[in-house]
Structure 1
Amino acid sequence: MASYEDREAFIPYRRTDLIELCLEDGQLDAVEGQKFREFCSILSAYYHFQFHGYLESLKDNYAPFDPDADTKSRSETTSQERAAMESMLVADFKSILERANYTPLSQDSLQRAFEERSLIELKTHVDFNDFEQMVCYCRGDSYKIAGLKKFFRKVKKKINVFERVVLLIKFKDESYFASKRAKPDKLKFMPGKMYIYLYKNIPKFDIEFLFPNVKTSMTWKDRLLFGIPAIGAAIPLILKVLPQLLLVIGVILFITVGPSHLHLKELRPSEEEVRNIMPLIVAILSLVIALGGFAFQQYTSYKSKQIKFQKNVTETLFFRNLASNVRVFQSLIDAAEEEECKEIILVFYHLLTTNTPLTSEQLDNRIEVWMDEKFGTQIDFDIHGPLHNLEEIRGKMAQDGSGATNTPDVAILSRDSQGYCHLLSLDDALAVIDYVWDNAFLYSL
């Protein structure tokens, strides 16, 4: 069973399309093909029912932390209850992400990504100490061509992107931010709440812009482009106001230390200049206005640059956001349900059509080669999950009312002592999955 660093377990086909791909392979006749469809249909219904339960659990545990909640709680949760709910939520959330074939990004990986040059040229900082919980997963590590403006012309650049990024962060409580002297009305989030985001096509080295507490500043390049013209504009201004500046300094020194201590001719005003207060006032006002106007011009230029940066960030997040907070759960549940069903369908189909028994390693390699040769799609198939799931699907094969209800349950898949996989016949497997679905929701009369 090969392991590939440049491949993912994600299967880039819809479940219904994958079923058709299996049937188009030509290994099943028309009758078997119809039974295979029926098996896949019942399997999908069964897993949809299962994942609905996971969705309800996620929503229940998320309720105390939801910043968008518009419903009232019938009772306040205690701190111990909230801690338990948070722990269960995060554990279930990670499990769903992994079942949807997402891979985790550690804090160290994020820090390395932050240090790389991004498409939006900004100096950024994310304070991870603000978080009580931080979970980041991605899927679809690929390359895309992006158009960038460079020196009045547009160039194309190959960039590394994550096709899907999921971020869960829970901020610390109000007391922590109060200790940092952060003003509550200036925060872009609610302390103590949990924020969940789902994004698409995020450049790998722009991932820091997904964090609500990201702080931005100009890069050294922007500071030079900002500072050099400022210095160039300041030099003639200083030369222009230098006589007034020397006059102001001279008068101040004349009054405070006396004329005997003024040795420089440039700083020694005449008695007439000292007595005539109007030129002094005019000099001070012209100096203040000139320098103030220049400072205001530079400040306005900086704020304009900052607003432009913020606009770029906002547009990036707005057009790439797929869902946020509780709505993320539905998207991930759908993705996990699809991935799990697709994996089981591939394993079931290839065991159904093989002429010789296969070990898990042989089956894994067979599926990967089949996907590559038939469709030009390279994946790193995860064989363990679907094998376990097929072993867990157990039921009765006979349902004709002949007393077979007392027979023991049978698993759709079993493995012998040598590790070979054995699958029930298509008819028996269909009977078992049908029995499991009929008994998925039991109640007492």
Structure 2
Amino acid sequence: MGYAPSAVSKGPGMLAGRSGVPAHRDFGMARYRDREHVIALRKPQLVQLLLRYPGCPTTTDEEHFRQFCRLVEAIFHFEFHSRCERLKALYAPFDPDIVVDYTLPTTVELEPVRRDREAKAAADGLPEHTGSHSPSPHANAGGTHQALNRREQIAAILQEVRSLLERANFVRLGPQALEEAIRQPGRWGLNFEVNFDLFETLELYVRGDTVEKEKVPARLFGWIRERQVEVPVYQRLLLVVRFRPDAPVPPFVDKNCLYLKLFKDVPKNDLEMLIPGTEPRIRPLDGLKIGLPLLAGLATCLWKLVMGAALTLASGVAGVLAWLGLIGAPISYGVRSYFGYVSTRQKYHLTVTQCLFFQNLDNNLGALVHLIDEAEEQEFRETVLSWFFLWRYAGQDGWTADALDDTIEQYLEQHARLCVDFEIEDALAKLQRLGLAQPDDQGRWHAVPLLEACQRLDEIWDNYFRYHRNLL
């Protein structure tokens, strides 16, 4: 991700004075086209960074701030755990890796069983059950979505996945990016044919548009030296695939399932390698290596056939044997060329296998859980950063959203070397929802004091379940 000096210079600045407190200038919010929203810091790293610079006024505040972070972490973890369970329930009918798929019977299916039980009870002289036969609200827990048809279920899970990807700061790739990848040879010098007719759903989501440097080994006995090249990559890529009912796929592929594949460090020109059902195209150089010897062998074979036929007419049985000997060599040469072609295709497939092995992060339900964890961490980072800088530096006058946004972006750039387009609107919405900050009539934001913030978060945590109130 690039660095835009002109845009940064317009921010309020983390211009440290003699006291170490950032000087604040009230300018408009900086906007970046070449930055992403994701903050690539683990939660402990962020807390340590804030405690190191600018730090807390006192050691007591430092301890309270650590507890503040623990409370924020616990609240978001609880909320995202609920979301994870909802996603699991939605995804279960389409999970290709599910081990147990027990579907609870419906009321209609249980009706014959109920009648038999009541008839047996009447025959034994037992009193008839007079209660309602309606199932309890929890009797069909986990089967809530059975009333939906499969198309509606697929639409529901896809909507949830897209919402989750948005929270995790993924962006959907358009068809132009995939078409460009198909046209251009990738890192391995290979091109692939993609059969789009196989798919009912094919979506690609990416995050982390950056450039990596790779070493190209020396070639031609050192005449071409080792060098470094820049490779545009996506740091994260999620592939969402569902096959058509009539798609010609291997028998072990369940066409009723929804496949989710999460990859890392994918070169932009290698996107098509990750799509199932792709076939490698032979490179021109490899085609020449295979085709030229084969053509030469066929030409030689044809010439020897003509010469052998003439020899046969002239020499009888001995000529036939000589003729067979003449054509045996070119035929074996052609067979060797064919197996060279097969070997080349196998080498291509091995390259794809190696790529998938080293770049695959997670699959199916595991990919969803991975994304939920990343989205949860991003919510934590945005909340802690926005509240901390309001609390430390906004003062009684408060800060505008633009000023807070620019301050956080410059802080991350100077102290974490991260060029980020901070999502200030989303961060402030979370602060307001949690009761940690409020805007005044002029639109300037004010953070609640540290101890009060901890008390409010503790109250939220205590009220997730209220049974303890009846025990007091």
Band the TM-score falls in, shorter-chain normalisation:
0.7 to 0.9
Is the CA contact (8 Å cut-off) linking 2:387 and 2:436 kept in structure 1?
no
What corresponds to 1:321 in structure 2? 360
Deviation at 1:80, TM superposition (A): 4.0
Instruction: Indicate how the Cα distance of structure 1 residues 318 and 429 shifts in structure 2: closer, same or farther if over 3 A, else same.
Output: same
Q: Residues 442, 220 of structure 1: CA spacing in aligned structure 2 closer, same or farther, 3 A cutoff?
A: farther
Offset at 1:287? 6.4
The separation in 1 between residues aligned to 2:41 and 2:182, in whole angstroms, is 32
The residue type equivalent to 2:31 in the other structure is S
SS of the aligned residue for 2:181 comes to helix
Answer whether contact 1:245 1:287 (CA < 8 A) is retained. Answer: no
Superposed CA RMSD in Å reads: 2.5
1:123 aligns with 191
Shift of 1:56: 0.9
Q: What is the Cα deviation at residue 97 of structure 1? A: 1.6
Q: Structure 1: which amino acid aligns with 2:364?
A: N
Tell me, yes or no, if the aligned pair for 1:169 and 1:195 is still in contact at 8 Å.
Answer: yes
1:20 equivalenced with 2:44 (yes/no):
no
Alignment of 1:114-263 (within 5 A): 114-149=182-217, 151-152=219-220, 154-173=226-245, 176-177=246-247, 182=248, 184-185=250-251, 189-245=253-309
- State the SS of the aligned residue for 2:341: helix
Match of 2:100 among 71, 92, 106: 71
- The size of the alignment, in residue pairs, is 395
Task: Measure how far apart 1:286 and its partner are.
Answer: 4.4
Match of 1:8 in 2: 36
- Counterpart check, 1:369 vs 2:416: no
Q: Are 2:429 and 1:388 equivalent residues in the alignment?
A: yes
Q: How much does 1:294 deviate?
A: 2.5
Q: Which amino acid aligns with 1:131?
A: F
Give 1:68 shift.
Answer: 1.5
- Structure 2: how far apart are the matches of 1:183 and 1:194? 14
CA, structure 1 residues 414+184, in 2 after alignment: closer, same or farther (shift >3 Å)? same
Work out the percentage of aligned pairs sharing the same amino acid: 30
One-letter code aligned to 1:340: E
- 1:333 Cα deviation (Å)? 1.1
Q: TM-score, normalised by structure 2?
A: 0.77
Change (3 A) 1:184 1:288: farther
1:42 alignment counterpart: 71
In the alignment, is the contact (CA less than 8 A) between 2:305 and 2:323 conserved in 1? Answer: no
Alpha-carbon distance in 2 for matches of 1:163, 1:303: 34
Amino acid at match of 2:102: S
Structure 1: stretches of 5+ with no match in the other structure:
249-268, 394-410
* Separation of aligned partners in 2, 1:375 and 1:172: 46
**Shift in Å, 1:63:** 1.1
Which residue number in structure 2 is paired with residue 91 of structure 1? 159
Q: Indicate yes or no: 2:341 matched with 1:302.
A: yes
For structure 1, which segment, 111-120 or 359-368, has the greater mean C-alpha deviation from structure 2 after superposition?
Answer: 111-120
**CA distance, structure 1, for counterparts of residue 363 and residue 72 of structure 2:** 30
How far residue 334 of structure 1 moved from its aligned partner, in angstroms, is 1.0
**Unaligned stretches of 5+ residues in structure 2:** 1-28, 106-144
Distance 1:189-1:421 versus aligned 2 partners, 3 A rule: same
- Asked if 2 retains the 8 angstrom alpha-carbon contact of 1:143 and 1:159, the reply is yes
Q: Deviation of residue 239 (structure 1)?
A: 4.1
Question: Residue 363 of structure 1: CA displacement?
Answer: 1.1
When structure 1 is superposed on structure 2, of 49-58 and 66-75 the one drifting more is 66-75
More divergent stretch after superposition (222-231 vs 82-91): 222-231
Aligned AA for 2:355? Answer: T
Tell me: CA distance 1:431–1:246, structure 2 relative to 1, closer, same or farther (3 Å): farther
**1:415 counterpart = 2:428:** no
Question: In the alignment, what sits opposite 2:453?
Answer: 429
